[in-house]
Structure 1
Amino acid sequence: MTRTKSVSVAATVVVTALALTSCGSSGGAQVGADKKQTLTVWAMGEEGTRLKAVTDEFTKQHPNITVKVTPVGWDVVHQKLVSAIAAKKTPDMAQMGSTMMGEFIALDALEPVDTKTFKKSDFFPATWDSNVKDGTAYGVPWYADTRALYYRTDLAKKAGIDKAPSTWKEQQALAAAYQKAGAEWGTDLQPSSTGAWQSWVQYLYSAGGELIGKDGEPALDSPAAIRAFTEWAGYFKKGLAKKTFTPGYDVTKDFGSGKRPMFQSGPWMVANIDDQQPQIKGKYKVVPVPADKTSTSWVGGASLVTFKNSAHKAAAEELTQYLTTPKTQAKWYEADKALPANKAAWDEPALKGGGDSLATFKTSLDTAKAIPPLEKWNEFAAAVEGALAKISQGADPAATAKALQKTAEGLVG
């Protein structure tokens, strides 16, 4: 899971009753989509509380299909899914975070996607690629997240800079100018703890690097990776970013006060800032992540998966089709502010009039790269975060990358 509107969001929706004996299908004979049936769906976080309204519309068009949506908290979903798979009592369908895909593909729990029904060309490439293992797709992209740079334009002008940073050099120069002009920190950058990898991967991709090389092995000590580690470390080495991190920290308030006038995050932060810091409306911009070789962010978000154990695969395919049509995706954006994964949805009125910030995220999605679906992603990410913690405190990037590479090689099979 990579969509974190705030730290509390991912853990807010708590499952109060989720008995495995009543949550899924037995995996028996398949039921045709035209037959009367109940389709069970698990959805996470805020999506779990909002999806029912959308599925009610689906049911009007498919009155024979009753859709039962169960909200599941991001903090408990992993264990719930693992337990359900072991008990062969999975739901028919689920929303699945992008970084969860690898593990559940490896568990052989997911039904391959029918690529005659769902076309890769309909979606942003990275949203599709995050679901593909050994040439087979196991999920259909639902919504997308990517990262962009937020910066205070008013404070930049006071610091003598009136141009958006488009390169690494310009980004560090702006951070230094902010601090010289009185900001406590030139930028916000997470140095350690869970999620720190999200502050670094865009540097890796923009430098031309990969998490996993073409040979299927980690590429964390490549020249591009070392360059990305070094650039990222420069903010801490020069005192432009704080070396310590408090779990649960939300940059919104400090962005509004000017203490941390620059940071990288996802699209949900636009609404957070406008709601919580209305005094800076019109005084900040969102631009693509600054470039090294390229400006390349990464894609998170969620896909829709059908479980092999489901007896309602035809109905699941119907609902998946409905949820990923351009019009439904546009309606979902209006309800949830989740970026559509279907490219055609961006031509719908709800998105075409979304302003400069939304256009920035569209540009970022066009060029973003996937997080590969690794079976041991959590351990892999934790290893990267451990290396980042050391580098932020002054460890040599090259030596740390070399040690990280050895650790990561043991996590990729």
Structure 2
Amino acid sequence: MKFKKSLAMFAGISVIAAAGCGNDDGNDNGGDQAGNGETVTLDVWAMGEEGNRLGSFVEDFENEHDNIEINVQAIPWDNAHDNLLTAVASGNGPDVLQLGTTWVAEFAGAGAFLDLSEYADEYDVISNDDFFEGALDTTVYDDAVYGVPWYVDTRVLFYRSDILEEHGFSEPPQNWDEMLEVSLELADRGDGMYGYDIDQNDQLVPPIFAWQNGWEFNEEAAEENFADPAFREAMEYYHTFFAEELVQVTEGTPIEQGFEEGSKPMFSSGPWMVNILRDSAPDIDGDWDVAMLPGSERNASAIGGSHLSVFAETEHPEESLEFISYMSQPETQVEWFKETNTLPARQSAWDDEELQEDEKLAVFGDQLEEAVAPPVLSEWENVAQDLLSSLERINRGGADLDEELDNFQQQAERRLN
């Protein structure tokens, strides 16, 4: 989920929303009030495949709540950001919407969502510590709560266990030193062979390396975070995989193909890749596995996923929160996992037998305990994209690492201040 929008546009949106462009009675947001005994219709925006599945899934909720009907609008992720910008500017949006975790700061700052902390005494799903800590972190902006975690994802290490064993490694790498050792050995197999694969377009990869080295982002320190030795050492470690030709610099073979062929025997990815490999590469079934990402100070990864938020202009906050509460119950999250293969955000949901018995999925549950949320800052994605551009100049263009990271830090100062 990438986007580049100016702060000036967001400021303009905030002004428009504050000017009072709300919903009129009988407009999109839901028909009659619940208090008169008639049915309330909640408009729900859900994105991508979740939007396609949610309409039939909510039938049980409607059966349990005969005064609430759910009208799901499925929106492609490619259109979701612009649709939400339009909704905020006009004041005409859904009651409930699915929100990517990296969008919280941008749209909360524009006044798009209801502050749910005001309802915490009535709805125990708000800021409930049964959710993974990293997921809860991404619901908070400027001391207010703007969402309830719906599902989560994180990255783990996928590895060809058969190839590692052939080269004397009976288990996956457990730390940075072992990761380099294994990658060097596997890349030395010949031309076109690599030890690891790094998605150079993934904004989360460099911060993951930094978190693994003990780095923590302090909002008050702003751009000085990027002068932290833990951050600089992590970027140097990241660069080592390119300097030693352990990864493919150009796009090259798609990872599923490279993994099946063995040319790319290790990579990091999310839970969706488990079923992709089971379906697309059945010939290597039993020859690959997953493990927690190896680290230096900690085996950290990133936490992603989606929240459910309430649109600021809704006429039905209580009914909206009733629906969100239902979707956030552990048993509902287990059923949603079985329907969509998205991972539950509630830790207690992981006690489900199906999640426990699938050893690969259980690793994701362990990794979520060590998953870190990106900073909830409106400019974070732009800063992260700047970092990717700097690393590309280092890895592909031969730029000096220290000089390039100094330039990146100056650019981060302009964005953050």
Q: What pairs with 1:129-140 in structure 2 (closer than 5 Å)?
A: 129-140=137-148
Which among 276, 292, 300 is matched to residue 280 of structure 2?
A: 276
In structure 2, the residue matched to 1:76 is: 79
In structure 2, the residue matched to 1:190 is: 199
Which among 385, 409, 413 is matched to residue 382 of structure 1?
A: 385
Equivalent pair of 2:32/2:39 in contact (CA under 8 Å) = no
Q: Does 1:215 align with 2:220?
A: yes
Greater share of helix: 2
Aligned-pair identity in percent equals 32
Instruction: Give the SS at the match of 1:309.
Output: coil
Q: Does 1:405 align with 2:414?
A: no
Q: What pairs with 1:6-405 in structure 2 (closer than 5 Å)?
A: 24-25=28-29, 31-32=34-35, 35-113=38-116, 114-116=119-121, 117=123, 118-182=126-190, 184-191=193-200, 195-210=201-216, 212-215=217-220, 217-218=222-223, 219-245=225-251, 250-355=254-359, 357-393=360-396, 394-405=398-409
Cα displacement (A) at 1:369 = 1.0
Cα displacement (A) at 1:144 = 0.6
Equivalent pair of 1:330/1:350 in contact (CA under 8 Å) = no
Structure 2 CA distance for partners of 1:203 and 1:83, relative to 1, 3 Å: same
Instruction: Give the SS at the match of 2:369.
Output: helix
Q: Deviations over 1:380-410 (max 9, x none)?
A: 2221211121222233333222211221122
Cα displacement (A) at 1:354 = 2.2
Equivalent pair of 2:127/2:148 in contact (CA under 8 Å) = no
Equivalent pair of 1:326/1:348 in contact (CA under 8 Å) = no
User: Counterpart of 1:184 in structure 2: which amino acid?
Assistant: M
* Separation in structure 1 between the aligned mates of residue 354 and residue 199 of structure 2, nearest angstrom: 33
Q: Deviations over 1:252-309 (max 9, x none)?
A: 1111111111101111111110110011111111111101011111111100000110
In structure 2, the residue matched to 1:16 is: none
* Separation in structure 2 between the aligned mates of residue 107 and residue 216 of structure 1, nearest angstrom: 24
Deviates more, 1:146-155 or 1:32-41: 32-41
- Give the TM-score normalised by the residue count of structure 1: 0.89
RMSD (Å), alpha carbons:
2.2
* Separation in structure 2 between the aligned mates of residue 123 and residue 410 of structure 1, nearest angstrom: 35
Structure 2 CA distance for partners of 1:33 and 1:209, relative to 1, 3 Å: farther
Q: Deviations over 1:27-77 (max 9, x none)?
A: x99755965111001111111111112211111111221101111111111
Instruction: Give the SS at the match of 2:180.
Output: helix
Equivalent pair of 1:202/1:289 in contact (CA under 8 Å) = no
Structure 2 CA distance for partners of 1:250 and 1:43, relative to 1, 3 Å: farther
Q: Larger C-alpha radius of gyration, 1 or 2?
A: 2
Deviates more, 1:92-101 or 1:213-222: 213-222
Equivalent pair of 1:159/1:181 in contact (CA under 8 Å) = no
Larger RCO (alpha carbons 8 Å, 6+ apart): 1
Cα displacement (A) at 1:190 = 2.1
In structure 1, the residue matched to 2:16 is: none
Structure 2 CA distance for partners of 1:199 and 1:250, relative to 1, 3 Å: farther
* Separation in structure 2 between the aligned mates of residue 399 and residue 33 of structure 1, nearest angstrom: 67
Equivalent pair of 1:105/1:375 in contact (CA under 8 Å) = no
Equivalent pair of 2:32/2:40 in contact (CA under 8 Å) = no
Instruction: Give the SS at the match of 1:67.
Output: strand
* Separation in structure 2 between the aligned mates of residue 250 and residue 62 of structure 1, nearest angstrom: 47
Q: How many pairs were matched up? A: 388
Structure 2 CA distance for partners of 1:140 and 1:33, relative to 1, 3 Å: farther
Equivalent pair of 2:34/2:67 in contact (CA under 8 Å) = no
In structure 2, the residue matched to 1:6 is: none
Uncovered stretches (5+) of structure 1, i.e. residues with no partner? 3-19
Cα displacement (A) at 1:216 = 5.1
Instruction: Give the SS at the match of 2:159.
Output: strand
Structure 2 CA distance for partners of 1:97 and 1:283, relative to 1, 3 Å: same
Uncovered stretches (5+) of structure 2, i.e. residues with no partner? 3-22
Equivalent pair of 2:33/2:40 in contact (CA under 8 Å) = no
Instruction: Give the SS at the match of 2:335.
Output: helix
